[in-house]
Amino acid sequence: MTATSQKPEEIIVVAVARNGIIGAHGSIPWHCPEDLRLFRSITLGGTVIMGRRTYQSIGHPLDGRHNIVVSSTLQEQTGITVVRSFAAAVATALAAAAPIYYCGGAQIYAQAIDRADAIYLSRMNADAAGDVSFPDIDPLIWQVVQQERFADFVHLRYRRKCAEHGSACSG
């Protein structure tokens, strides 16, 4: 990346039950093909960053995307770049100069929320039983800028508010 090029956009992509649950025993507690298609269309061509358990729950690299997996134990595999820390994942992704999509799990989301430019959240139309939840989205920091209804969920796009204006930042 040259000094004149812009930093790639960093986006959290997550599906959340009405009660905040995002995972149950290492997997997503629902199956929603429409949301999976939306996830694919959003992230295609970008860099996806995920933790080891998220990668293992998917079971394979996501095609058409640069897959970065944060793990202290996973060994290098065809189709993925394994890094040992979140900071290394971000540095590797920034070097690729493509949009960066944080795809889970909870530890990745917790570290990404303070640096992300946007959150693309699919809010499922049901509660779910599970052991992993997504943090509350602070309305003082985040603003909904787009909303689209689907049969089983509402897709919300949040932008980080600009401190000086109190409204969503552009770009």
User: What pLDDT is recorded for position 39?
Assistant: 98
Kindly tell me if the per-residue pLDDT of 164 is higher than 90: no
Query: Which sequence spans correspond to the domains of the chain?
Result: 10-160
User: What pLDDT is recorded for position 2?
Assistant: 45
Residue 52 neighbours by CB distance under 10 Å: 16
User: What pLDDT is recorded for position 162?
Assistant: 83
Kindly tell me if the per-residue pLDDT of 1 is higher than 50: no
Which amino acid makes up residue 160? R
Q: pLDDT tens digits for 18-76?
A: 999 999 999 999 999 999 999 999 999 999 999 999 999 999 999 999 999 999 999 99
Strand residue runs (E) in the chain: 10-16, 21-23, 47-51, 66-70, 80-83, 100-102, 118-124, 132-133, 142-149, 153-160
User: What pLDDT is recorded for position 5?
Assistant: 65
For the domain with range 10-160, which CATH number is right: 3.40.430.10, 2.60.120.10, 3.40.50.2300, 3.40.50.150?
Answer: 3.40.430.10
CA distance 79 to 147: 33
User: What pLDDT is recorded for position 171?
Assistant: 56
* Phi, psi of 65, deg, nearest 5: -140, 150
User: What pLDDT is recorded for position 4?
Assistant: 47
Does this model's pTM top 0.85? yes
Q: pLDDT tens digits for 92-133?
A: 999 999 999 999 999 999 999 999 999 999 999 999 999 999
Which amino acid makes up residue 16? V
User: What pLDDT is recorded for position 147?
Assistant: 98
Look up residue 54 and give its DSSP letter: H
Q: Are 19 and 73 in contact (CB under 8 A)?
A: no
Residue 129 neighbours by CB distance under 10 Å: 10
